[in-house]
Amino acid sequence: MLIAYKHQWSAVHDICEIKLNQRRVDLRVFGHRLFERGLAYVGMDYLSHGLWDKYLTYELGLGAHAQVAQLYSRLLRMPIQRLDEYRTR
């Protein structure tokens, strides 16, 4: 199904919109699951720093500081391009 889309992110956006419009979903849990699913597929990719950044920003926006600390501990074990930037934060 994703092949029909020009960009996979547009498919993810459409799926999120459908789920959010159903209003049967807790937004915090849904967002967390969505990011975790994305990390399961590309989290160890050398260029996955964009996804990690978005996830960290999302969790900081929720005020989930314990989750952010856990994400940093996972992130620092990944072979990604901007690893040095995360070590100095």
| pLDDT for 4 beyond 50 | no
The pLDDT mean for the chain works out to 77
| HSE of 15, CA atoms in CB hemisphere, 13 A | 11
Return d(Cα 6, Cα 82) in angstroms, integer. Answer: 28
- Who wins on pLDDT, 70 or 37? 70
- Is 0.75 surpassed by the pTM of this model? no
Over the stretch 18-43, which tens digit does the pLDDT of each residue have?
765 666 656 677 788 888 888 887 87
* Contact predicate 89/57, CB 8 Å: no
Return d(Cα 81, Cα 58) in angstroms, integer. Answer: 21
Task: Output the pLDDT for position 72.
Answer: 94
Query: Which domain, by its residues, includes 32?
Result: 2-87
Quote the number of domains for the chain: 1
- Who wins on pLDDT, 40 or 69? 69
* Contact predicate 51/35, CB 8 Å: yes
Return d(Cα 22, Cα 12) in angstroms, integer. Answer: 16
* Contact predicate 39/55, CB 8 Å: yes
